[in-house]
Amino acid sequence: MIVRVLLFFVLSFTLVQGQSIVWTLVQPGVWKGTVGKPESYNLLTAAGATPNASALTRLGVADFPLPKPAIVAQLVDGKTYLRFPLDRTEQLYGFGLNFQTVHQRGRILNLHMDHFGGSDNGRTHAPTPFYVSSKGYGVFINSARYLTVYAGSAARKDSPDAPEAKDRNTDKSWTASPYSDAVEIVVPAAGVEFYVFGGPKPLDVVRRYNLFSGGGCLPPRWGLGFQQRVKSLNTADQVLAEAEEFEQKGFPLDVIGLEPGWQSKSYPGTFEWDKTRYPDPGGFLRVMKAKNIRTNLWINPYVAPSASIYNAIRPLTASHTVWSGVVPDFTLPEARRIFFGQLAKDGIEPGVSGYKIDEVDGYDSWLWPDVAIFPSGRPAEQMRQSYGLLMQRYSTDVYHQKNTRTYGLVRASNSGGASFPYVIYNDYYKHEDFITALITSSYCGVLWTPEVRASSTSEEWLRRFQTVVFSPLAMINAWASGTKPWSFSDVSKQVQDMALLRMQMMPYWYSEFAKYHFDGTPPFRAMSLEEGFLADVRTAVVNENLNDNPYALAIRREVKDQYMAGENLLVAPLFAGQKSRVVTLPKGNWYDFYTGELVGNGQQITATPGLDRIPVYVKDGGVVPMMPARLHAPKAGETVPIEVRYYGSKPGAYRLYDDDGETFNYERGQYSFREIRVTKNDRGIQGSISTAEPGKPNSVGAVTFVQMTK
């Protein structure tokens, strides 16, 4: 028997020995680890991601943030097992677009492209294999496989810091979830490459992650205006009438989105106009444009047998169909040429401003199955994880070739896609969870819209609308309901005011998106990325009845209902039914956005804003550049006056971004950051803005400075 035991030891040793990791410094503060034979197709190759080397260089060097020997890789059972160390105090963020949780330590996630199904389990619209530690480093697994992540939930018996066994019979300190000293990840492939991002701050990690795939997207100015999506079977005349109505009622409108009915057939689609509803698409698009309104088209990428491109693309599609439409293999250049050629011909060339790319996430019941065969030979699993990236990448390419920016909607993205001008949306509709998604999107390199669709009360309508205004995409997605901003007449004035506020803030929003692009800083982001914010990591056993909670599970409390909007604003939405709410302020003085009054410093305050207002706070020295209220975004070449609002008393500085707002010329240097400075003394404030750079686009008219804090 001893011989047998020894044999097991030897076998065990053989299995558990670590696989060597080859480390390379690939950018300042970014290290690549390579194990075994990584697969050639991964998230970065799918996205065609190219690091913004100069921005990464500006961010500077960093120390390797982890003890290298504690990063362990094993090749077992045809898979790669990765392990990264954790210390007892750190918190983890990221692992995809989550809707109900911000803190991820202790959780288990199966990162799998899917719609959000009601609980955060890794199945989501952006299952990004990337996490950020509160200690100021990040890890990204560059794999388009379904990954299983134990985010500090599994304990090893040979751990130098293993948890202590306790007796549940009598020891009140027993816990169902003992301490774990590691993140462990299953990559179902015999090798993988992964990246470690340095800090020192968590925000630096996120910046490096975003810049590593080229930096965040820069929408056109009109993309930051207001978008209304109309009922599916509307005709051209009905859409034009609806645009008129916005103008007449004085509601801002920059984009109208057409739903499936613009196509001659949908689910699956033809990608051709329905001539009964849109007899003259080109004329329709021109009239819309003349009204300063862009047109966005809904699609999903599944091709109907009656589509003109069907016969050509059919051999280049998967073995399985989606709603009886064929599924193009977009890793094949010829499939791209056929599909995006059709989008260019009937959509982009005649003037369509962008797309709403539906159903590239899942869910399983209508997407291709994992047994599908793609003609390129790429496994269905990899196609599933990256299909949203491919759609974004190659549609963006068409706009890029036309030197016209786009800003669209997509239901699926992944790591590597930060630079694509698309905002994620879905069919879920819980307001609170929409805000949590806005928070977690900042750990994923994606944008999320807490869109409004319908509401059961005026209060809910207004509360939802208020958060839409402080988000990457201000949209009513009324394809099913037909709701208009003024549909709830008792709050239509408040809705209008909020929509106009969105337009007034465009110089701020646009500058913040420019920082997303050039610096990697997410325009809407989690409080944990803000310096001076103390993450609330308490846990508590909420339900002590063992019949209902047999393992006496402790429930984690976390701040998941307030967020940062750009450099200077903290937004704390209220939800229907709430008359007041608690807001946790980071350290430093914070001021009311509307009144300029001091509200607190590093403390919890209670906000009772009334129905008309969404609580928004500005940091000390905060500067918010605004423009006059208007119904449409400024056009290229147009000049607008700027009102610089200044809060608190610390010296204020702000980089105001400017370019033509519509083309990709900024990629060739045709942009500027204008330096705004404000100081305060006993007599009042002193403001300045740097002069415009000669030869660069200049949209800045007269600049005035307003002292908000008296």
Closest contact distance (angstroms) between CB of 162 and its own copies is 7
Q: Nearest approach, Cβ of 631 to its own copies (angstroms)?
A: 27
* CA-to-CA separations, 519 to 52, 109, 412, 438, 513, in angstroms, rounded: 9, 30, 24, 19, 10
Q: How far is the CB of 19 from its own copies (least distance, A)?
A: 13
Q: DSSP string of 248-264? A: HHT---SEEEE-GGGBS
Nearer CB in complex with its own copies: 576/636 = 576
Using CB atoms within 10 A of its CB, is residue 545 exposed (0-12), middle (13-18) or buried (19+)?
exposed
Q: How far is the CB of 280 from its own copies (least distance, A)?
A: 19
What tokens appear for 119 in the block?
């609980």
- Given a contact cutoff of 8 angstroms between Cβ atoms, the answer to whether 215 and 55 are in contact is yes
In angstroms, what is the C-alpha Rg of the chain?
26
Task: Name the residue nearer to its own copies (CB basis): 56 or 326.
Answer: 326
Q: What token pair was written down for 9? A: 């030891």
How far is it, in rounded angstroms, from Cα 558 to Cα 537? 6
Q: How many CB atoms lie within 10 A of CB 377?
A: 9
| Nearest residue (CB) to its own copies, 274 versus 530 | 274
End-to-end CA distance of the chain: give it in Å, rounded: 85
> Judged by CB, which is closer to its own copies: 329, or 660?
329
Q: Please report how close the Cβ of residue 482 comes to its own copies at its closest, in angstroms.
A: 10
Tokens linked to 196: 């470690």
- Give the shortest CB-27-to-its own copies separation in angstroms: 29
Query: Residue 471 Cβ, how far from its own copies at the closest point, in Å?
Result: 20
Nearer to its own copies, 148 or 436 (CB): 148
Neighbours of 501 (CB within 10 A): 19
Q: Rounded CA gap, 108 and 184, in Å? A: 10
Report the nearest approach of its own copies to the CB of residue 378 (Å).
Answer: 9
Which of 497, 650, 521 shows the shortest CA–CA distance to 587? 650
Contact 93, 136 (CB under 8 A): no
Buried b (16+ CB within 10 A) or exposed e, 655-684: bbbbbbbbbbbbeeebbbbbebebbbeeee
Residue 608, both tokens: 């009772």
Give me the DSSP letters along 182-235.
EEEEEESSSEEEEEEE--SSHHHHHHHHHHHTT------GGGGSEEEE--TT--
Q: Which is nearer to its own copies, 275 or 493 (CB)?
A: 275
The DSSP annotation for 362-383 comes to --TTTSPPTT-B-TT--BHHHH
| Tokens at 179, concatenated | 């301490």
DSSP string, 542-606: ----TTT-TT-PEEEP---S-EEETTTEEE----TT-S-EEEEPPSSEEEETTT--EEEESSEEE
Indicate the helix (H) or strand (E) that contains 23.
strand 22-27
480 vs 542, which CB is nearer to its own copies? 480
Minimum distance from residue 110 beta carbon to its own copies (Å)? 9
CB of 551 to its own copies, least distance (A): 8
Q: What is the SS3 assignment for 236?
A: helix
As given in the structure block, the two tokens for residue 63 are: 């120390």
Is residue 451 within 8 A of residue 477, CB to CB? The reply is: yes
Shortest reach from residue 28's CB to its own copies, in Å: 32
Instruction: Give least dist CB 105 to its own copies, A.
Output: 12
